[in-house]
Structure 1
Amino acid sequence: MESNQSKTAFSPYIKFPREEWRHLRASTPLPLNESELAALHGINEEVSLTEVEEIYLPLSRLLNLYVGATQNLYKATNAFLGNLGGKVPYIIGIAGSVAVGKSTTARIIQALLSRWPNHPKVDLVTTDGFLYPNAELERRGILHRKGFPESYDTRQLIHFLADVKSGKPEVVAPVYSHLTYDIVPTEKILVRQPDIVILEGLNVLQTVKPSQSGKKMTVFVSDFFDFSIYVDAPERFIRQWYVDRFHTLRETAFRDKKSYFHRFSSLTDDEANQIALNIWEDINAKNLRENILPTKQRAQLILQKGDHHMVERVELRKL
């Protein structure tokens, strides 16, 4: 006869249904209004103030406690060493599929965390800027695999994070244009010792296979994270969100003659729908299944979305 313990489904996560998670907001005030929130929305994503109150305010409270604890730890270390070291930013990684809404999540978290008095300076950097330029991707024959792990200059990204985490006064990050679908060589992002850095991207929780010799030590992007979040949803929802976004872009950004995808602006609805589905299945779904989704269990917190981008469950890794 099986014991009750053997029937228990153990998990490294504490799982909170939406109704339970929202109570963890406690007395945290809502610092955003409707117009401020509207500026943070992504394409076809309309996050409500209720969503912010019930999901993102409890999360900002949790992160505030974590950041505060880390700041106190640095102070204790400096007191022990008898010196005042430079500010070391707290780094938060946010991962998830194309079209799942991780960019909106990152912007909302940035806005909320910047309202806390002990960490008012919060910078947001996306890994898009660390993609190889299109010319280099073409030279390597992998332009069609843009967004896959091998399309990123991981060495440059790791150097950037190492400089940030070492407390370097000023660190430079490259800029990516979604209009031209390429790196903008004349633009840079300057990161000057913020309290928090949020790094958002598809593969930020990705690990790679060690070298065949087994002798070389490998450093991962996630090694620099103090906290990590994975934004998740059933693939059928993400696919539809991607198709909807493609239709919206066809009517807006793609109409700009400078757009890399300007050729799609003249498509009929049926043609656009089929092309979007083909791109999803040939590129984005493959990347999701092979590279992104397998990293979900490496995150410290998972936001599980349902339809309409609403978070239905939050999973927090046990310490």
Structure 2
Amino acid sequence: MHTYKPYYHFSRENWAALSKTERLPLTQTELEEIRGINTRISLPEVETAYMPLTNLISYYLEAAETLHAKAGAFLGTNEKKVPFIIGIAGSVAVGKSTIARLLQLMLSRALPHKKTELVTTDGFLYPNAVLQEKQLMQRKGFPESYDIKALIEFMGQVKAGTTNIKGPQYSHLTYDVLSEQTELVTDPDILIVEGVNVLQVKKEYQFFVSDFFDFSIYIDADEKNIEKWYKERFLMLRATAFQNPKSYFRHYAEVPMEEALQTAETIWETINAKNLHENILPTKGRSDLILRKGNNHEIEDVYLRKL
């Protein structure tokens, strides 16, 4: 008896062979500019892992546009174009932000006639004052720490083709939502939405963020590797961004190294690992594509959901 498997599995070598692009669409300097702290990525990996992905997304986009046009002709409607929305999910410290920025750049280069924009769901976290009032500061990043209603309303406006939509901005320096600043989504053909819980489903909501996605990606890795990357990033931030007097985590820059390491381990165990197991990892199987990283941050396996 055959067991149905919902994903095609590609090794890195087999996935790389699918690339239809001969020339890299970015330089080493550009790659360094979009690379997140402690996220290792190289031009060879861009060529072998992310160029095939860019090609694949362009096929999904073309199919979606064709379906939209044919359905409109069949129904006799004349609706305006709607953005093709890509969701990117995965754990803290797994490299989502770098991949989101990389895809934005590569899609812009591969499809220069299309406008590609990027938003993160961090701006839809409740402000710290609200989280403190709700006693949720220790669960920041968990689904209940987000203003899901506002996020879904935002996504609905995007999918309706509304232009110049304002969304909240988040500062990683102050670790809080910027109340007087907004992030503007103008009129994209492609919108990338990145966040830890974008594939999350909750019974209390009629709609989910992922309902608006045309294609979704989950960034995966062994938990031991993600934990290592998180701790490495924490220590790197301790020596850089945390030194800023305006940093929410300024006090961590002043404690002894041993205490800083213990703090990173405690935060991982009590917050990030818990969120990963309870909310993030269970959504992996809802994605269209899984990019699985090895211990050096490079993509080793790709899983594509069967049509």
Superposition TM-score tier, normalisation by shorter sequence: over 0.9
Q: Which residue of 2 aligns with 1:65?
A: 59
Distance 2:108 2:197 in 1: 25
Matches within 5 A, 1:1-319: 6=1, 10-82=4-76, 84-117=78-111, 120-210=114-204, 218-319=206-307
Task: Point out where structure 2 has 5 or more consecutive residues left out of the alignment.
Answer: none
CA-to-partner distance for each residue in 1:56-76, whole Å, 9 max, x for gaps? Answer: 000000000111111122222
Kindly state the Cα deviation for residue 26 of structure 1 after the two structures are TM-superposed.
Answer: 2.4
CA separation of 1:79/1:36 partners in 2, compared to 1, >3 Å: closer, same or farther? same
Distance 2:7 2:75 in 1: 36
Kindly state the Cα deviation for residue 174 of structure 1 after the two structures are TM-superposed.
Answer: 0.5
TM-score in terms of structure 1 length = 0.93
CA-to-partner distance for each residue in 1:97-132, whole Å, 9 max, x for gaps? Answer: 000001111111111111133653111000000000
Q: Comparing 131-140 with 19-28, which one deviates more in the overlay?
A: 19-28
CA-to-partner distance for each residue in 1:142-161, whole Å, 9 max, x for gaps? Answer: 11110000000000000000
Distance 1:119 1:172 in 2: 24
TM-score in terms of structure 2 length = 0.97
1:304–1:312 contact (8 Å) kept in structure 2: yes
SS at match of 1:94: strand
Distance 2:233 2:150 in 1: 30
Kindly state the Cα deviation for residue 81 of structure 1 after the two structures are TM-superposed.
Answer: 4.6
Task: Point out where structure 1 has 5 or more consecutive residues left out of the alignment.
Answer: 1-5, 211-216
Distance 1:224 1:290 in 2: 23
SS at match of 1:14: strand
Which has more radius of gyration? 1
CA-to-partner distance for each residue in 1:208-260, whole Å, 9 max, x for gaps? Answer: 135xxxxxx72111000000000000000000000000000000000001000
Distance 2:9 2:77 in 1: 41
Distance 2:24 2:138 in 1: 43
Q: Which residue of 2 aligns with 1:213?
A: none
Distance 1:13 1:238 in 2: 23
2:232 maps to amino acid:
D
1:303 maps to amino acid:
L
1:302–1:314 contact (8 Å) kept in structure 2: yes
Q: Comparing 192-201 with 79-88, which one deviates more in the overlay?
A: 79-88
Distance 1:111 1:21 in 2: 20
Q: Report the count of equivalent residues.
A: 307
Distance 1:9 1:83 in 2: 42
2:295 maps to amino acid:
D
SS at match of 1:229: strand
1:119–1:195 contact (8 Å) kept in structure 2: no
CA RMSD of aligned residues (A): 1.4
Kindly state the Cα deviation for residue 29 of structure 1 after the two structures are TM-superposed.
Answer: 3.0
Distance 1:119 1:58 in 2: 19
SS at match of 2:279: helix
1:260 maps to amino acid:
Y
1:60–1:109 contact (8 Å) kept in structure 2: yes
2:120 maps to amino acid:
T
SS at match of 1:316: strand
% identical equivalent positions: 54
Kindly state the Cα deviation for residue 200 of structure 1 after the two structures are TM-superposed.
Answer: 0.2
